[in-house]
Copies of this chain bind each other. A is one copy, B any other.
C-alpha cells in the first residue's frame, strides 16, 4: 500500500507538499447521489486550520478548496472520484535552513535523506508536513456525514496536555460535546485553561509539549464491523491513526489489571442484553460489540522548537548547533482532535460502505 493512500472500498489518496503549489486528496468509493453539507465541511476544516488560535502556528491558511471532480451538475456526488485542491498561500520557504544538510532532531529529515537519496523537498517538511492533514480533514468531514446516515457519530477531545488531564467520559453512556470552530476541545473547561497555560509556557520557553486525544465512536452495532485476527477493528483503526503525524501510541478501552475486573459482565438493560461496563472499549475479538468504541491516541511534542539543538552537518561531518525559526505549534494536540476524528471516520466508512 502506498504511503499516501488509506482504505480499500472508501479509499483516500493524499497529495501535496508543505511548500509546493497545493495539497489535496482524491476520494474513491464515496457513494453516489449524496448531497453534501459544505458548510459543515468547512466548519470541520476550520477546527484544524492554523493561525486561528493563540495555541497554534501563526501560519495562516484559509484552507479554501476547489472541487475538481466528483459532483454532478446538480451538486450531488456522482460516482466519479471526489478530488479537492487546497492551494498553499502562506508558505515562507525562507524560514527553513537546508535541513537535508543539518537534520532536525525529532523530525523525519535524517531518515528521509536516506530513503530518498537526498532528493526530497525538505521545505516545511515537504510531504511529511502536517499541512496535508487539511486534506485529510476535508475527506474526513465527508465521511462524518456518510456515517451519520448509518447513525454513527465520531467525537474526540483532548485527553491530556503534558500532565494535565481532561475528565474521562462515562464509557457506557458517554455524553460528548461537539466542538465548534475556535473552541478548545475539552470537557472540563477549567482543565482546558490549565492546558492552554501549559502550552503557552512551552511556547515561551521555546519548547513544545506532548499530549493525547481520546476518541469515541457511537452507534456501531454488535457484530457490525471488525473480525478476528488481522481483520480486527483495533488493527484497522490503528493503521490509520498512526498515519497522523506525531502519533506514537494507540490504546483501546481502559484495561483493568485482573480478568475479574476487566471482563465486562452482560446484563439486561431495557430487556436487551448489554454490557454493564466497557473496559474493552467496545471491541471484543476484534469486533464491535455494540458498546461505544473508544481509544486514546498519544502524540509526541512538536519536534520543531526554537531552542538551540545539537545536530550533525552531513556535508562537513561535524557536530553543530541548529537554530530553527519558522512558525510552529507548541502543541499539536488541539488540532489533532479533528484530525483524529477525520481519520477515524475514514477508517469506519471504509468498513461500512
A residues with CB within 8 A of B? 1-6, 8-9, 11, 13-17, 19-24, 26, 28-29, 32-33, 66-73, 76-81, 83, 85, 93, 103-121, 123, 126-128, 132, 162-163, 202, 205-210, 221-224, 226-232, 234-236, 238-243, 245, 247-253, 255-260, 262-268, 271, 273, 275-276, 280-281, 283-290, 298, 300-305, 307, 309-312, 314, 317-319
Check if B289 sits within 8 Å of A110, measured CB to CB: yes
Enumerate the 3 nearest inter-chain pairs by beta-carbon distance, A residue then B residue, closest first: A108-B285, A114-B223, A3-B231
- Whether B257 lies near A163 (C-beta < 8 A) is yes
Q: Find A240's partner among B104, B202, B235 (CB 8 Å cutoff).
A: B235
A69 to B228, CA, bound (A): 15
| A67 CA / B268 CA spacing, docked (Å) | 39
* Least CB separation from A105: chain B residue: B263
A277 to chain B minimum Cβ distance, whole angstroms, is 9
Is B221 in contact with A3, judged by CB distance below 8 angstroms? no
Q: Closest approach, in angstroms, between the C-beta of A68 and any C-beta of chain B?
A: 5
Q: How far is the CB of A296 from chain B (nearest CB, A)?
A: 8
- State A239–B234 Cα separation when bound (angstroms): 8
Kindly identify which residue among B1, B224, B251, B290 contacts A298, using a CB–CB cutoff of 8 Å: B251
Interchain nearest-CB distance for A159 vs B (Å): 14
Among candidates B108, B229, B264, B300, residue contacting A132 with C-beta atoms closer than 8 Å = B229
Alpha-carbon distance between A192 and B290 when the two chains are bound, in angstroms: 38
CA distance A209 to B71 in the complex (A): 33
Contact between B20 and A80, CB atoms less than 8 A apart? yes
Query: Which of B77, B223, B258, B305 interacts with A263 by CB under 8 Å?
Result: B305
Q: CB-CB < 8 A to A11: which residues of B?
A: 2, 5
CB-CB under 8 A from A319, the residues of chain B are 266-268
Q: List 21 A-B contacts (CB under 8 A).
A: A3-B231, A15-B68, A21-B68, A32-B119, A32-B120, A79-B120, A80-B120, A105-B263, A108-B284, A109-B285, A110-B273, A110-B289, A114-B224, A115-B223, A229-B243, A230-B239, A249-B249, A249-B251, A260-B305, A268-B312, A268-B317
Given A16-B81, A105-B264, A106-B264, 13 additional A-B pairs, CB 8 A? A3-B227, A19-B73, A22-B83, A33-B119, A107-B285, A205-B260, A229-B243, A234-B247, A235-B242, A248-B251, A250-B250, A251-B298, A259-B302
**CB-based contact A311/B5 at 8 Å:** no
Given the known interface contacts A108-B228, A117-B32, the answer about A248 and B253 at a Cβ–Cβ threshold of 8 Å is yes
From B111, B231, B271, A288 is in contact (CB under 8 Å) with B111
CB–CB A116/B32 < 8 A? yes
**Which residue of B has the minimal Cβ distance to A133?**
B229
Give the Cβ gap from A183 to chain B, nearest Cβ, in Å. Answer: 25
A205 to chain B, nearest CB (A): 8
By a CB distance below 8 angstroms, the chain B residues around A268 are 312, 317-319
Nearest CB of chain B from residue A121's CB, rounded to whole Å: 4
Contact B114 A267 (CB under 8 A): no
Alpha-carbon distance A265/B253, docked complex (angstroms): 34
